[in-house]
Amino acid sequence: MSPKVLIVDDNTINLKLASDVLTNEGFVVERAQDAEQAKLVLERLLPDLILMDIAMPGMDGLTLTRVLKSDPRFTRIPVIALTASAMKGDDQRALAAGCAGYIAKPIDTRRFGAQVRAMLRAATGGDPT
């Protein structure tokens, strides 16, 4: 069965690019452009992994990650931070918020699918397809 991934990103171009790359790699992809849309998706789908943009208007990605990690329904879903602001300490802030890993943007489309698959495997101990 193909791994299900929820991508949360307010930038339409980044959202489409990440979605297209992962779809081509065999993932089942759901999209959300902000925290509220992500919550709606999560009411009907429990993904295997969430890719979370950090800087979003309204509720930012780290706050949404903390909210999700405080809910027993979502504690086991690994969240991978996606951010263009790869500043010193951002990775530690992401991990402290409950993220299982960190990918800097812009994504490398040649490696992105393998990165996501490896992070999913590491976070769950499983072997995603």
For the chain, 129 residues long, give each residue's pLDDT as a single digit of tens.
899 999 999 999 999 999 999 999 999 999 999 999 999 999 999 999 999 999 899 999 999 999 999 999 999 999 999 987 656 677 788 999 999 998 988 999 999 999 999 999 988 776 655
pTM of the model: 0.93
Would you call 68 exposed, middle or buried from its count of C-beta atoms within 10 A (0-12, 13-18, 19+)?
A: buried
Tokens of 15: 């959202």
pLDDT at 75: 95
DSSP state of 2: P
The arrangement of strands across the sheet holding 28-32 comes to 28-32, 4-8, 49-53, 79-83, 101-104
Phi, psi of 106 (to 5 degrees): -70, 145
CATH 2.60.40.10 fits 4-124, yes or no: no
Q: Is the dihedral of CA 93, 14, 107, 129 positive or negative?
A: positive
